[in-house]
A and B are shown apart, each in its own frame.
Chain A
Amino acid sequence: MLNVGKIEEGLVLDHIKAGKSMGIYKHLGLGRSDYTVALIKNARSNAMGKKDILKVECDPDALNLDVIAFIDPDITVNVIRNGEIVEKRKLALPKMVTNVIRCTNPRCISTIEQELPQVFYLADSRHKVYRCRYCDERHTEKGSKSWFQ
């Protein structure tokens, strides 16, 4: 099995559904950052069979993690200081997500208006329902696939 060493300070995102880590990497803006990042795909997991793990060496408060709760609220966020897990961070669903998913309603203004950000708001936190800010179309997994992968 592949071994990736411990980090001294930063975040370890564990229990990511296999195949989803690249999407999270992108939405956290890690491609543009100078942080040391390890992205582990298809790691063995007793509970999940396969999972992804993302390790980021950074100030643990430097990243906006809201989007992670939107992508998958079951992801575990471990905060690492001095090489030890000091906190398991609970993530709340963000009230708004911008430019993470796109509206699939062909009648929505976002399909034709230039440079309009794709904004979704949390319409029902109990059922994790997000709707397009412009047309109120409900977001579905199907609509997000092209964006995440």
Chain B
Amino acid sequence: MRHLLKPDDFTVQELNALFDLAADIEKNPEKYARVCEGKKLASCFYEPSTRTRLSTETAMLNLGGKTLGFSDADSSSAKKGESVADTIRVISCFADIAAIRHPKEGAAMVAALNSSIPVINCGDGGHQHPTQTLTDLMTIRSTLGRLSNFTVGLCGDLKFGRTVHSLINALARYEGINFVFISPPELQVPDYITDMLDDRNIRYDIYINMEDVIARLDILYMTRVQRERFFNEEEYIRLKDFYILDAEKMKKAKNNMYVLHPLPRVNEISVEVDKDPRAAYFRQVQYGVYVRMALIMTLLGVKAP
């Protein structure tokens, strides 16, 4: 049985097939409107989530399936002390596929080890968030037209941002990707990521100022500085406005450089950038639904009609 716990659970060939399917769903949504009729998705969210939960549930509804579940730990048996292993064993009796988000790292793996239905990791603490990575890859493929030979700039909190780490790992498997890491010294990408890139002879550059490098980029992936990752409020306040992408900075970028962001945005992208055709972050949300639809079909073994 297949699960999705981390992005590299799928080979590059499998990912390409998944993105081909998602692209076909985008073009012909009505063709897929009933392929999961009679199937149920259990969405087990032990911590709050807006985008990921609604996107995953929307994906199942778009395929003609149904959803059930809980959206915080207080409304589940976890409050009574039930283990993740026991919860998933029970849910396996109700649903055909489960999507799980849990504050503890590795919770989705424990679920998968004890499950008799496919498990989708929708975020396990600061560890993995593979459906976001699939969304990011799908957005790059759809906007840029390829997943190889481009320069991607990752900007903001590169130290704590799990989406950034997952995306770098996933992109490192494709040909000809140049990475540009733009962050304050305090929020630089961890050593294990740069060690991995060094081992594979993949080029990366490190910058502090976005303006120094924005003209070189094909993709700019912005991230939010997350308050919850800081022990020191002063440090957070000092760093939170370090990067603000505005129309002035966008003038220096290529005409076909696209801006992505995993959302939610706080103030790292000025609202004036939203109307720039290169702003792809709201389209990214839509691609997230298509790619999750393709993922649910793939894990359930449902063939395209």
- Residue ranges of A at the interface with B (Cβ–Cβ < 8 Å): 105, 107-114, 116, 132-138
Contacts and interface: CB of A to CB of B under 8 A. Distances in A.
For A114, A132, A135, the residue with the greatest tally of chain B CB atoms inside 10 Å of its CB is A135
Nearest to B128: A136
Contact of B109 (A112, A114, A134, A138): A134
B171 interface: no
A10 to B, nearest CB: 37
B105 A105 contact: yes
Contacts of A105: 105
A138 B127 CA distance: 13
Contacts of B84: 109, 113
Contact of A109 (B124, B126, B192): B124
Contacts of B110: 109, 113, 116, 134
A108 B83 contact: no
B105 A107 contact: yes
Given A109-B109, A113-B104, 19 more contacts: A108-B104, A108-B106, A109-B84, A109-B102, A109-B104, A109-B106, A109-B107, A109-B110, A112-B104, A113-B83, A113-B107, A116-B110, A132-B106, A134-B105, A134-B106, A134-B109, A135-B106, A135-B127, A136-B105
Contacts of A110: 106
Contacts of B172: none
Contacts of B103: 107
A110 B113 CA distance: 13
11 contacts: A107-B103, A109-B107, A113-B83, A113-B85, A116-B85, A116-B110, A133-B109, A134-B106, A134-B109, A135-B124, A135-B127
B125 interface: yes
A135 B85 CA distance: 16
Contacts of B124: 109, 135
B106 A133 contact: yes
Nearest to B84: A113
Interface string B109-130: 1100000000000001111000
Contacts of B192: 138
B138 to A, nearest CB: 24
A107 B110 CA distance: 14
Interface in B63-88: 83-85
B104 A111 contact: yes
A108 B109 CA distance: 11
A130 B104 CA distance: 20
For B106, B107, B110, the residue with the greatest tally of chain A CB atoms inside 10 Å of its CB is B106
Nearest to B192: A138
A63 B106 CA distance: 31
Nearest to A138: B192
A104 to B, nearest CB: 12
B121 to A, nearest CB: 12
A132 B125 CA distance: 15
A132 B110 CA distance: 12
A61 to B, nearest CB: 31
B295 to A, nearest CB: 22
Contact of B127 (A111, A112, A113, A136): A136
A107 B108 CA distance: 13
B83 A114 contact: yes
B190 to A, nearest CB: 11
For A109, A110, A116, A136, the residue with the greatest tally of chain B CB atoms inside 10 Å of its CB is A109
Interface in B263-287: none
Contacts of B102: 109
Contacts of A109: 84, 102, 104-107, 109-110, 124
A108 B104 CA distance: 5
